[in-house]
């Protein structure tokens, strides 16, 4: 077969594969007409595992996906701050999957929710972010579940395979879209600010410190209030309790 013929044949195969992929119904369908929850972060964390302080000065809700490198960076920075401010900071992680997310990635995020049912949310989340490539492996979620020492692996596997929390993932995506996020990670705060991207540790530190009137290490007090300008954007909290 001539070179040109081989090229044309390859293009034809790729085009057919593309059309087939487009014809497959996505696991997550965009929710039309979804309204921003009429509540603060205390409302949108009702169905989420919240890490950190029981009575925090600041709560962050992060919408992320395991295949996002910036999400892994933010995960590490927030873990640093959770250890630094155990009595002042709380963080809730929520999934923000694309409608075209494949089966492996979807099951990886279902695994997070199912791990949370057995008290291993943090262990699973930390292990998956430690090597996010496993979110793309067919059985990566099971491997991470084992590393997270989930007590009942049979129940964990049933929970993931049957999609017990698929509705929760879909609702989390709708929330993220309602906040105007189109990329990951997207973060909202209990002080009605939002940002997309992996914010630098120093800026996050200043944000937490300012929430309870403390100057972050190495920061000048007059700079704390303005340190988040250009990073975070206020959102309308007029209807929030």
What confidence tens digit (pLDDT) does each residue in 66-119 have? 999 999 999 999 999 999 999 999 999 999 999 899 999 999 999 999 999 999
| CATH code for position 188 | 3.40.30.10
Burial of 70 (0-12, 13-18, 19+ CB in 10 A): middle
What would the mean pLDDT of 5-33 be, rounded to a whole number? 34
Contact 201, 228 (CB under 8 A): no
Q: Is residue 157 part of a domain?
A: yes
Q: Is residue 111 part of a domain?
A: yes
Q: Where do we find the tokens 């995506």?
A: 173
pLDDT at 147: 97
Q: Is residue 34 part of a domain?
A: no
Q: Is residue 52 part of a domain?
A: yes
Q: Is residue 221 part of a domain?
A: yes
Question: 162 lies in which domain range?
Answer: 41-234
182: three-class secondary structure by DSSP: coil
Q: Is residue 27 part of a domain?
A: no
What is d(CA 114, CA 216) in angstroms, rounded to the nearest whole number? 36
Q: Is residue 106 part of a domain?
A: yes
Cα four-point dihedral sign 62, 204, 222, 85? positive
Over 80: is that where the pLDDT of 5 sits?
no
pLDDT at 193: 83
Report the domain count for the chain.
1
Quick one: how far is CA 236 from the chain centroid? 22
DSSP E strands: which ranges in the chain? Answer: 50-52, 58-64, 89-95, 186-189, 193-196, 233-234
Q: Is residue 4 part of a domain?
A: no
């Amino acid at each position: 077969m001539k070179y040109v013929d081989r090229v044309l044949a390859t293009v034809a195969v790729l085009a057919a594969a593309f059309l087939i992929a487009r014809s497959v119904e996505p696991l997550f369908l965009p929710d039309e007409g979804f309204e921003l929850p009429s509540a603060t972060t205390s409302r949108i964390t009702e169905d989420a595992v919240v890490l950190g302080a029981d009575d925090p000065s600041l709560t962050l809700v992060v919408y992320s996906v395991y295949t996002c490198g910036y999400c892994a960076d933010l995960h590490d920075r927030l873990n640093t701050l959770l250890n630094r401010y155990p009595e002042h900071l709380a963080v809730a992680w929520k999934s923000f999957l694309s409608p075209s997310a494949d089966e492996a990635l979807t099951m990886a995020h279902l695994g997070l929710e199912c791990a949370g049912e057995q008290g291993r949310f943090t262990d699973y989340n930390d292990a998956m972010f430690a090597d996010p490539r496993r979110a793309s492996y067919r059985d990566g979620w099971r491997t991470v579940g084992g590393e997270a020492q989930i007590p009942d692996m049979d129940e964990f596997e049933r929970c993931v395979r049957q999609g017990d929390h698929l509705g929760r993932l879909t609702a989390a995506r709708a929330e993220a879209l309602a906040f105007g996020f189109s990329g990951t990670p997207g973060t909202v705060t209990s002080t009605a600010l939002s940002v997309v991207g992996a914010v630098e540790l120093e800026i996050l530190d200043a944000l937490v410190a300012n929430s309870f009137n403390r100057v972050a290490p190495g920061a000048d007090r007059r700079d704390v209030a303005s340190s988040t300008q250009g990073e975070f954007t206020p959102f309308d909290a007029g209807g929030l309790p």
